[in-house]
Amino acid sequence: MKTKAKKKNAAATAAVSGAPAELSYSGLGVSAGIAIGPAHVMERGLIDVPDYCVSDVDAELKRFDVAVELSIKQVEKLRIKASTLSEAAAEELTYLLDAHRQMLAGSRLVRGVEERIRKEKLNAEAAVQAELSQIAHAFAAMEDAYLAGKIQDVREVSARLVRNLTKAGYQAFSGLAAGAIIIAEEITPADTALMDPAIVGGFASALGGAEGHTTIMARSLGLPAVLGVPSLIHAVKPGDIIALDGVRGTVVVNPSEATIARFERRREALVRRQRQLDRLRGVSAATRDDVRITLQCNLELPSELALAQQVGAEGVGLLRSEFLYMNRDTLPSEDEQYVAFKDIVEGMEGEPVTIRTLDVGSDKLAYSLGEHISPSVNPALGLRAIRLSLKVRPLLDTQLAAMLRASAHGKLRILLPMINSSSEIKRVHEAMDKVVKRLARKRIAMSDPLPELGIMIETPGAALAADSLAKNCDYFSIGTNDLTMYTLAADRGDEQVAHLYDPLHPAVLRLIRSATQAADSAGIPVNLCGEMAGNPRFTALLLGLGLRDLSMSAPNLPRIKQRILGLEMADAEKRTAQIMEQSDSGVIATLLDDFNALE
């Protein structure tokens, strides 16, 4: 009640002054940039629900039960998040989520849906919709306006259930106002793939960690983003003006004129800085003492190719092939993949393109693969990446064939995600031999020699066994995003443990060093394509650890080049040697930041 009174006062003040009250929130600033625009509140609704008769009622009840369980987990996760807010906001949000939680534990809605599945043999989605309509009817007839308003909670819970039943991706980013800022509970990598940076200004959500794939996708698209802002979605109405700062992690709802002016000044400063960096396009990346560093781009989507060319990337160090599987119900054919790969290889005009086989699972779940991936208690440790490709062999064979065919059009390398053992590499070699023979029989052109086959070093196991893995592959690519997560057991996509996810932890640095040294000893190339490569804070340290080849999202490349141009390799190596003697990541951070400030 106390909270309601406060809210009323704020509304009253705003009404008197004629302008809505400015509200400021802070979260994780994960993708740089400033955006000011109208809010688009992303509600995954009850639209286009399939409606059919089920023959196996028990199976349908089970399916509904799984959706209810998943919904409960989601609400509980949000509730934990809410408890970290300020007192008033926590009270309000917790109250709301408790109501949702109760509704999921056997309310009229849940019981009614089960009844309809049992008696009418309706599919679960249609049963939810039918039950919601009936409840809404009953609520509309209520005289108490407060109780009648509670239908909104029933709608939200129903929408969550339908979303979890259909596993539907969000498809409605069309028709947005220019510069719209998307506000959501959670934004998946697949949602981000649907955002057109020419229209969308940026986004903010309640869930999501610092190095999840949504974050990476936002950086690649140059979309400012702030994650981990739990109460935002409940505070914003569609069309409210939002000012978002993806560097500082600030989101302001209904900003005053003074706040807008402040954000605009910051935006202009960032644009000026970017223009200066653009001048470095034709300059090669070399340290002051002339050590040449290769800078390549990571691509999430083919649409980023133009930017990679614009910033002068010396190739694509990592093409994540997941984009081919997102936002669809069917698997991409060999021909479709071949055309997509060929276009990118040709677009890079002779520069190498490293294409990674499918890396779904964990936070990168493609709906088209749903039947192959069952829910797992620990999805990050489950059937994902190369494990899935080796289990469902047509997935691997189709991709290898598409890559081999595209290799005839330029320089292409094949990369395998989440490798832990030599036997996994050998099995891919065997699969590749068979595909090569099949294509050769059909006289289909492939590169000669055949593409190199490399592996991601992104688990502690792979880093520790790097010397033996190096004997079975052509190159290493160090993936610090997963390597940090698995080494420290801190989920890269969970804002609750974002403070524990620390790439400067000595264990992570030692693993990067040992993988780099193992590659050097075996005489194979090594590059680093995790997000560390695109953050100038880490550049001196990575060079000091022996890396000479870095791959990052295109918008970050000019800043990294500028950092390299200002560095003396001998100094970077000396500081890295000091850092590697430390056992505390706080001390390491200070040593690194002091060095960066001096240079």
Question: Which residues contact ligand PEP by CB under 6 A?
Answer: 216, 318, 320, 359, 458, 479-482, 529-530
Of ligand PEP, Mg ion, none, which one sits near residue 480, judging by CB under 5 to 8 A according to partner kind? ligand PEP
What residues are paired with 29 via a beta bridge? 226
Minimum distance, C-beta of residue 157 to ligand PEP, in the bound complex (Å) = 33
Listed in order, strand segments (DSSP E) in 219-270 are 225-227, 241-245, 250-253
Q: Which is nearer to Mg ion, 125 or 482 (CB)?
A: 482
- C-alpha 440/C-alpha 408 separation (Å) is 12
Could you tell me the two tokens for 542? 């990575």
Minimum distance, C-beta of residue 485 to ligand PEP, in the bound complex (Å) = 8
Active site residue 505: no
Q: Which is nearer to ligand PEP, 414 or 591 (CB)?
A: 414
Of ligand PEP, Mg ion, none, which one sits near residue 494, judging by CB under 5 to 8 A according to partner kind? none
User: Are 51 and 288 spatial neighbours (Cβ–Cβ below 8 Å)?
Assistant: no
Minimum distance, C-beta of residue 327 to Mg ion, in the bound complex (Å) = 21
Which residue in 121, 164, 155, 122 sits closest to 136, CA to CA?
Answer: 155
What are the backbone angles phi and psi of residue 373, rounded to the nearest 5°?
-115, 110
- C-alpha 277/C-alpha 273 separation (Å) is 6
Q: Which is nearer to ligand PEP, 252 or 529 (CB)?
A: 529
Of ligand PEP, Mg ion, none, which one sits near residue 529, judging by CB under 5 to 8 A according to partner kind? ligand PEP
Residue least distant from ligand PEP (Cβ): 479
Of ligand PEP, Mg ion, none, which one sits near residue 516, judging by CB under 5 to 8 A according to partner kind? none
Of ligand PEP, Mg ion, none, which one sits near residue 114, judging by CB under 5 to 8 A according to partner kind? none
Minimum distance, C-beta of residue 356 to Mg ion, in the bound complex (Å) = 9
Q: Which is nearer to Mg ion, 37 or 530 (CB)?
A: 530
Q: Which is nearer to ligand PEP, 511 or 529 (CB)?
A: 529
User: Are 224 and 33 spatial neighbours (Cβ–Cβ below 8 Å)?
Assistant: yes
Of Mg ion, ligand PEP, none, which one sits near residue 320, judging by CB under 5 to 8 A according to partner kind? ligand PEP
Q: CB-based contacts of 268: which residues, under 8 Å, 6+ apart?
A: none
Active site residue 213: yes
Q: How many CA atoms lie within 13 A of 93 on its CB side?
A: 25
Minimum distance, C-beta of residue 342 to Mg ion, in the bound complex (Å) = 25
- C-alpha 156/C-alpha 44 separation (Å) is 9
Instruction: By CB under 5 A, name the binding residues for Mg ion.
Output: 458, 479, 482
Given 40, 213, 473, 505, the catalytic residue: 213
Minimum distance, C-beta of residue 213 to ligand PEP, in the bound complex (Å) = 6
Given 40, 100, 473, 529, the catalytic residue: 529
CA angle, residues 443, 400, 320, in degrees to nearest 5: 140
- C-alpha 263/C-alpha 318 separation (Å) is 34
Amino acid at 125: E
User: Are 120 and 57 spatial neighbours (Cβ–Cβ below 8 Å)?
Assistant: no
Residue least distant from Mg ion (Cβ): 482
- C-alpha 213/C-alpha 225 separation (Å) is 13
Q: Which is nearer to Mg ion, 182 or 216 (CB)?
A: 216
Known catalytic residues are 213, 529
